[in-house]
Chains A and B, each alone.
Chain A
């Protein structure tokens, strides 16, 4: 980018006070700029050189363009010595560039989360999993059909309550009992339960009875009268009725009266 040698200045004293100002058009200045860069055709080059020699304002303009150009290039050369590419940039050409997928933009490697953040993330994931599992379990229980007790309540006086799924549920009339229900009767109530085999249990007064799977009946408190009309009915009762003191056995047809108190169980027949 060498600069052209300026043509010799004409003799005389151009631009002296009292002389009319000379206009330099933009077209002239554009030609001078291109002349400075050596980008004029042969004819243009010769023509502008002739004018520069003859027109001092053009010469001044050319000098101004030259000075500005030197200033810009000088500043850039000064800067070049100060510009140092980063190690990341230099390494890019040696490794990443060769392996980058087409269209992939160069990006900084993903930062690993700090240890505390990772720990919190793991804990959060565990808590979330537990919540999901618990929720799923509850949903599954809700979706699953409740297991009905083998015992049917055939008669009951007044409103009776069962504790079902950790809630108290009230019923006005006989209703299907479920495994896991705990039946509560007050001291004025009576209820009649019947097993599939025909055994009949009568509860009188205050009672608390839990219904278990496989026809089990656990008397926690209250007075229970059991009647089996035949062996089949008696078979339903065999080891099915239990108290805190143990199972009730009724071999063959017969009746049994069971009294259970919270502190101790008394049986008689």
Chain B
């Protein structure tokens, strides 16, 4: 259990901007128990300029691997994802001062990580297949139902092939569609949280998620053809 001696604070009740008490987790002995604090309390502690030695490792232990999966899906590169996550946690200590208590740790940190991933992807290895805009206006359904087609695709491919095909299809999606799908399907964020992370409106998130799903399906069906 990481324990640190708390910094002296004459007025721990005063929490500006509606932030959580940065002294949450203080033990009666005066020591600080990071594992007893919530994510937001740890973020609040970081925002107050304390707890770097305990709050950061605790948050990393709680969210490191989940963040790694998110970064891996956005970047399409596991090693680059590890670097991005490490980068995000180091920067979190600095960026925490920008937190105003209006977003959860999950939203705040995910936004930071997504921005780092975007930056790395654009700087280094943007492999987005431009020109794969297949368009999704109204469709006419008839004959074999779409659900049957996608299910047939899955049946014909072995599990490993399905996994590979899905990830390649995800990789081929435009950035914003890939991001919303990863945040929604793989990270389980709500539309509201996604909107906060991507700094978009709820309506945009709705549309992007649908279009992402639709394009993913088209890419997979195209692969089968």
Interface positions of A (Cβ within 8 A of B): 1, 15, 21-26, 29-30, 32-34, 37, 39, 57, 60-61, 63-69, 71-76, 78-80, 83, 85-86, 88-90, 92-94, 96-100, 102-106
Residues of A within 8 Å of B216, CB to CB, are 68, 72
Instruction: Indicate the member of A21, A60, A68 with the most B CB atoms within 10 Å.
Output: A68
Chain B nearest CB: distance from A216 CB in Å?
A: 74
Given A68-B150, A93-B57, verify A85-B90 contact (CB < 8 Å).
Answer: no
Number of chain B interface residues as a range: 35 or more
Q: Which 8 A-B pairs have the closest CB atoms?
A: A63-B147, A93-B60, A64-B146, A75-B166, A33-B210, A64-B147, A106-B86, A60-B145
Q: Is A30 within 8 A of B83, CB to CB?
A: no
Residues of B within 8 Å of A23, CB to CB, are 138-140
Chain A nearest CB: distance from B89 CB in Å?
A: 6
Q: Is A67 within 8 A of B147, CB to CB?
A: yes
- Chain A's closest residue to B93 (CB) is A102
The docked-state distance in angstroms from the alpha carbon of A90 to that of B216 is: 32
Of the candidates B52, B65, B154, which one forms a contact with A67 in the assembled complex, judged by CB atoms under 8 Å apart? B154
- Chain B's closest residue to A75 (CB) is B166
Residues of A within 8 Å of B52, CB to CB, are 98
Given A71-B150, A73-B185, verify A26-B86 contact (CB < 8 Å).
Answer: no
Given A29-B214, A89-B64, verify A69-B57 contact (CB < 8 Å).
Answer: no
Given A29-B214, A68-B216, verify A106-B162 contact (CB < 8 Å).
Answer: no
Q: Is B166 within 8 A of A72, CB to CB?
A: yes
Give me 15 A-to-B residue pairs in the complex whose CB atoms sit less than 8 angstroms apart, sorted by A's number: A1-B188, A23-B138, A33-B206, A33-B213, A39-B190, A57-B141, A78-B162, A79-B163, A83-B68, A89-B64, A90-B64, A93-B57, A93-B89, A97-B57, A98-B54
Chain A nearest CB: distance from B7 CB in Å?
A: 16
Q: Is A69 within 8 A of B140, CB to CB?
A: no
Q: Is B65 within 8 A of A85, CB to CB?
A: yes
Q: Is A104 within 8 A of B90, CB to CB?
A: yes
- Asked if B99 CB lies within 8 Å of chain A CBs, one says no
- Asked if B184 CB lies within 8 Å of chain A CBs, one says yes
Chain B nearest CB: distance from A57 CB in Å?
A: 5
Chain A nearest CB: distance from B120 CB in Å?
A: 11
Of the candidates B54, B141, B160, B188, which one forms a contact with A24 in the assembled complex, judged by CB atoms under 8 Å apart? B141
Residues of A within 8 Å of B36, CB to CB, are none
Chain A nearest CB: distance from B171 CB in Å?
A: 12
Instruction: Indicate the member of A86, A89, A103 with the most B CB atoms within 10 Å.
Output: A89
Q: Is B68 within 8 A of A39, CB to CB?
A: no
- Asked if B1 CB lies within 8 Å of chain A CBs, one says no
Q: Is A64 within 8 A of B68, CB to CB?
A: no
Q: Is B220 within 8 A of A105, CB to CB?
A: no
Chain A nearest CB: distance from B176 CB in Å?
A: 15
Residues of A within 8 Å of B89, CB to CB, are 92-93, 97
Of the candidates A21, A39, A97, which one forms a contact with B206 in the assembled complex, judged by CB atoms under 8 Å apart? A39
Q: Is B184 within 8 A of A76, CB to CB?
A: no
Q: Is A89 within 8 A of B85, CB to CB?
A: yes
The docked-state distance in angstroms from the alpha carbon of A71 to that of B224 is: 14
- Chain A's closest residue to B217 (CB) is A68
Q: Is B188 within 8 A of A71, CB to CB?
A: no
Residues of B within 8 Å of A32, CB to CB, are 210
Q: Is B167 within 8 A of A79, CB to CB?
A: yes
Chain A nearest CB: distance from B183 CB in Å?
A: 12
Q: Is B53 within 8 A of A60, CB to CB?
A: no
Chain B nearest CB: distance from A26 CB in Å?
A: 6
Residues of A within 8 Å of B185, CB to CB, are 1, 69, 72-73, 76
Residues of A within 8 Å of B140, CB to CB, are 21-23
